Amino acid sequence: MPGWSCLVTGAGGFLGQRIVHLLVQEKDLEEVRVLDKVFRPETREEFFNLQTKTKVTVLEGDILDAQYLRRACQGISVVIHTAAVIDVLGFIPRHTILDVNLKGTQNLLEACVQASVPAFIYTSSFDVAGPNSYKEIVLNGHEEEQRESTWPDAYPYSKKMAEKAVIAANGRRLKDGGTLHTCALRPMYIYGEKSPFIYVRMIKALKNNGILKSAGKFSTANPVYVGNVAWAHILATKGLRDPKKSPSIQGQFYYISDDTPHQSYDDLNYTVSKKWGLRLDSSWSPPLPMLYWLAFLLETVSFLLRPIYNYRPPFNRHLVTMSNCVFTFSYKKAQRDLGYKPLFSWEEAREKTSQWIGSLVEQHKGTLNTKSQ
């Protein structure tokens, strides 16, 4: 597979950056184009300072600009599409989420057809499979079960419809007469250094005397380390470009997990931060059914107030369900078709995440010291 090129959308994000770091280690990669709407100055600098012979081209542009996307795709061999708006609380307007997550994906698929890009890998989410009820129990689920989210909330709906568009686009005729081959990866909840979700939780805990507020104590999840999700994208890229492997991957979706033990979201947050003195909230919390109906009540209040006031509830039924159910998936299909095996062990992932949290604790201490002087 001589000299090829890759476009990564959402390249400034938590996962996108990790994918780029692994991509530039590929010997035959001539160019990687990193695309995002806006790059933070430190991210831009990081890309410029990558130790690699691969050409790194930084592109700032909107995924809703079809003409821009077509230019960005010219001469590209593979598109890895990670760009998305993640919002499970409804803080971002529904039309914005649908525009970026669904319309943006459709725009990018069309740009691939027009620019004759033969391979497209989509970063989906386990959220497209549910859970649809907090009573639902899925342990080591697999792709053949054909689970589908029924939530009307903008995020799961937009990701589900975008994934369907990607899978449906497999086999489309390209402008140069070639064929578009697509696949989708469904990572579990992604953790690791620079996780925006963990960052918010840790900063709140540090401001709250080291007490971690509950993120879902009733759940059984199989979180996945960001480095392993990035590695799965590299393997999918190689697989779709390999004439022998490609036929079994085309038009498929894959759950991406790793060997992180099954645990609650609360236990994960505690495990990676306890070394630094953080601890779980021991105060009373309502039973799960009560929490669910309280969320329903808050959503109703929000709906009734909408004509006069934009009330945003602190949680909703989708979040309560997702954060408190038994919902885990196996990576056996990815292992079989993509040759996927986790690049990082649970011990390594835990240690790397914990060290990063340690740096946040030090920064917080520094901030407190500055304020007290």
Annotated active-site positions, please? 155
Residue with tokens 């236990």: 267
Long-range CB pairs of 355-362, under 8 A, 24+ apart, other chains included: 355/193, 356/192, 356/193, 356/194, 357/198, 357/202, 357/272, 357/273, 357/276, 357/278, 358/275, 358/276, 360/199, 360/202, 360/203, 360/206, 361/202, 361/206, 361/276, 361/277
- Which secondary structure element, helix H or strand E, spans residue 15, and what is its range? helix 14-23
Whole-angstrom CA distances from 124 to 82, 188, 296, 370 are 8, 10, 27, 42
Amino acid at 157: Y
- Return all residues near 303 (Cβ < 8 A) that are at least 6 apart: none
Is residue 162 classed as helix, strand or coil in its secondary structure? helix
Q: What share of the chain is helix, strand, coil (3-state, %, to 5)?
A: 45, 15, 35
Residue 220 β-bridge partners: 326
Is residue 216 classed as helix, strand or coil in its secondary structure? coil
- The half-sphere exposure of 219 on its side-chain side, counting CA atoms within 13 A, is 27
